[in-house]
């Protein structure tokens, strides 16, 4: 896979002096779905706006499809479709007119058949001639998606596509994303919700305070999330783990009063029974047992906190 969007050392300082992006490096692979995960004010919208040309970068470089976003802005921007976070639409415009306008703006010749088909796939077929103000909030969001797709972009940015959207519509949104992915469109979506990233992303990038804290395959993140810990409290502290007991994943706690065993909860053989059977043999007695699971949420929170400390 080759990267279709490549961001290097990107910084953004707003006129207010606030530094919203502090040296972002990120490569987005062609055809992938990347979830950009981060708390409020992390810089997600700023990052997307800078890639799309809505805000100007203070430093660093961006290329889209190999085209520099400044020098070759026409080619770079032509590849991108953007669904903004806020619903910005002219209330008195007709749905199909505003979609047609978007297509024209990106230099594509008028193609009403394509637009009709696009509205149909977004379940807006019967709203083509309605005015925007007659639509529900969820429909408006889909109009924004239609506008972003009107010029057949290869990269689609979705800035919080499911904020304020009901479950049914959210599932519909995910289906749409899936369909687009199958057509080879690269998708970057921002979200606060880990489940959302889990449900549709190939990779997850975590951003906080203007810095990317992690970019990882979702599956390997999930594997980390799948890890559970068993804490075995002992009746008396020990100096070291007896050799008879030593095994991968087993550690002594800091206060030396417990054993901590980390295991994969999805594995066939977890090794818990073996560990517990071996305890008396090693001359240890257990006082209590506890298990805990690290969720992606926890990983996320701890990452964001590490970012804070740094």
Partner 1 sequence: MNFEAIRAIYTFEMARFFRTLAQSFISPVLSTSLYFVVFGTAIGSRIDSVEGVSYGAFIVPGLVMLSVMTQAISNASFGIYFPKFIGTIYELLSAPVNFIEIVIGYVGAAATKSLFIGLVILATSFLFVDITIAHPFAMLAFLVLTCLSFALMGFIIGIWAGNFEQLQLIPLLIVTPLVFLGGSFYSITMLPPIWQQISYFNPVVYLISGFRWSFFGQADVPIAVSLLAIGGFTTLCLAIIWWIFKTGWRIRD
Ligand X SMILES: Nc1ncnc2c1ncn2[C@@H]1O[C@H](COP(=O)(O)OP(=O)(O)OP(=O)(O)O)[C@@H](O)[C@H]1O
Which residues contact partner 1 by CB under 8 A?
14-15, 49, 52-56, 73-78, 80, 82, 84, 86, 88-90, 92, 97, 100-110, 147
- Whichever of 147 and 170 has its CB closer to partner 1, that residue is 147
Does 45 engage in binding with Mg ion (CB under 5 A)?
A: yes
Contact between 41 and ligand X (CB under 6 A)? yes
Smallest distance, Å, CB 25 to ligand X? 17
Task: Pick the closest to residue 225 from 111, 302, 157 (CA basis).
Answer: 302
Among 42, 82, 146, 150, binds ligand X (CB under 6 A): 42
Closer to Mg ion at the Cβ: 163 or 303? 163
Binding of residue 43 to ligand X (CB under 6 A): yes
Nearer to partner 1, 75 or 228 (CB): 75
Using rule CB under 6 A, residue 137 touches ligand X: no
* Least distance from Mg ion to the Cβ atom of residue 48, Å: 8
* Minimal distance, residue 214 CB to Mg ion, in Å: 19
Residue nearer to ligand X on the CB measure, 13 or 108: 13
With CB under 6 A as the contact rule, which of the stretches 44-52, 143-151, 179-187, 268-276 interacts with ligand X? 44-52
Pick the closer one to partner 1 by CB: 35 or 57.
57
Is 46 a binding residue for ligand X by CB under 6 A? The answer is: yes
Phi-psi region of 99 (alpha: psi -120 to 50; beta: other; left: phi over 0): alpha
**Candidates 36-44, 60-68, 103-111, 124-132 — which segment interacts with ligand X by CB under 6 A?**
36-44
**Can you tell me the distance from the alpha carbon of 138 to that of 144, in angstroms, rounded to the nearest whole number?**
10
| Residues near ligand X (CB under 6 A) | 14, 16, 18, 20, 38, 40-46, 85
């Amino acid at each position: 896979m080759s990267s279709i969007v490549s961001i290097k050392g990107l910084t953004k300082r707003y006129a207010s002096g606030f530094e919203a992006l502090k040296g972002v490096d990120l490569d987005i692979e062609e055809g992938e779905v990347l979830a950009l995960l981060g708390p409020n004010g992390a810089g997600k919208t700023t990052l997307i706006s800078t890639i799309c040309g809505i805000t100007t970068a203070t430093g660093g470089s961006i290329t889209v499809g190999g085209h520099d976003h400044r020098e070759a802005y026409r080619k770079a921007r032509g590849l991108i479709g953007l669904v903004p976070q806020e619903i910005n639409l002219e209330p008195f415009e007709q749905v199909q007119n505003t979609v047609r306008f978007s297509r024209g703006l990106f230099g594509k010749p008028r193609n009403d058949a394509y637009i009709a088909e696009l509205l149909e796939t977004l379940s807006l077929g019967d709203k083509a001639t309605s005015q925007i103000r007659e639509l529900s909030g969820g429909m408006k969001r889909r109009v924004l998606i239609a506008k972003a797709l009107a010029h057949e972009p290869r990269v689609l940015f979705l800035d919080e596509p499911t904020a304020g959207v009901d479950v049914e519509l959210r599932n519909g949104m995910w289906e749409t994303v899936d369909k687009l992915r199958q057509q080879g469109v690269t998708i970057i979506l921002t979200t606060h919700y880990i489940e959302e990233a889990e449900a549709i992303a190939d990779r997850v990038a975590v951003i906080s305070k203007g810095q990317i804290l992690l970019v990882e395959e979702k599956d390997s993140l999930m594997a980390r999330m799948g890890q559970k810990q068993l804490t075995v409290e002992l009746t008396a502290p020990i100096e070291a783990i007896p050799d008879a007991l030593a095994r991968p994943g087993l550690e002594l706690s800091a206060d030396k009063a417990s054993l901590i065993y980390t295991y994969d909860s999805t594995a066939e053989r977890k090794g818990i029974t073996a560990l517990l059977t071996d305890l008396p043999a090693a001359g240890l007695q257990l006082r209590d047992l506890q298990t805990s699971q690290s969720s992606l949420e926890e990983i996320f929170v701890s990452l964001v906190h590490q970012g804070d400390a740094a």
